[in-house]
Each structure stands twice: as structure tokens, then as C-alpha cells.
Amino acid sequence: MLLFASLAERAGTRRLEVPVGEGETVRDIRDRVVARFPQLAPAVPTLMYALNEEYAREDAAVAAGSTLALIPPVSGG
């Protein structure tokens, strides 16, 4: 799993190894990571997700070996 911007800062890492079980979704994995890093919880309502470099929804199935990224909102000009 990849964490970007403020998420990486809050977790203290940009990359996590997260095992994926049969039938798990983006939401399932996100929830396990937030349980491990509760400081990420405030960002959950505004997160976007990418699965294998394509935007994905929370209910998307995740296969073993996939790359999931959690992307917080960004601002700028």
C-alpha cells in the first residue's frame, strides 16, 4: 500500500505491506490500516483510492499482489 502527502506524514511511512485476503475490498484494507494507524481516521471521509494505478471505489475487489494507494485531497494553485 502506498500513502501520499499528509497520510504518509501521519503514519511515518509512505509504503506498507498489507496482506490481502480472499474477497477483500478497498474498504476492508483501508479499515485495517486505519485500525493500525488511528491517526489516519480523520482523513477517511475525503480519501480517494487508486488500485494498480487506476482510480478505484471503496467496494472494488483487491487481489493479492495489487498496489493500493490512499490519496488525501490536495490543494494548491
Q: What pLDDT is recorded for position 74?
A: 78
How many domains are there within the chain?
A: 1
Per-residue pLDDT tens digits for 31-77: 999 999 999 999 999 999 999 999 999 999 999 999 999 999 876 65
Question: 46 lies in which domain range?
Answer: 2-71
Q: What pLDDT is recorded for position 32?
A: 96
- Give residue 26's region: left, alpha or beta (phi > 0; psi -120 to 50): alpha
Is 20 part of a structural domain of the chain? Answer: yes
CATH number of the domain that 57 lies in? 3.10.20.30
User: How confident is the model over 7-12, as a mean pLDDT?
Assistant: 96
pLDDT-derived band at 1 (thresholds 50, 70, 90) equals very high
Is 77 part of a structural domain of the chain? Answer: no
Is 76 part of a structural domain of the chain? Answer: no
What's the whole-model pTM score?
Answer: 0.91
Is 58 part of a structural domain of the chain? Answer: yes
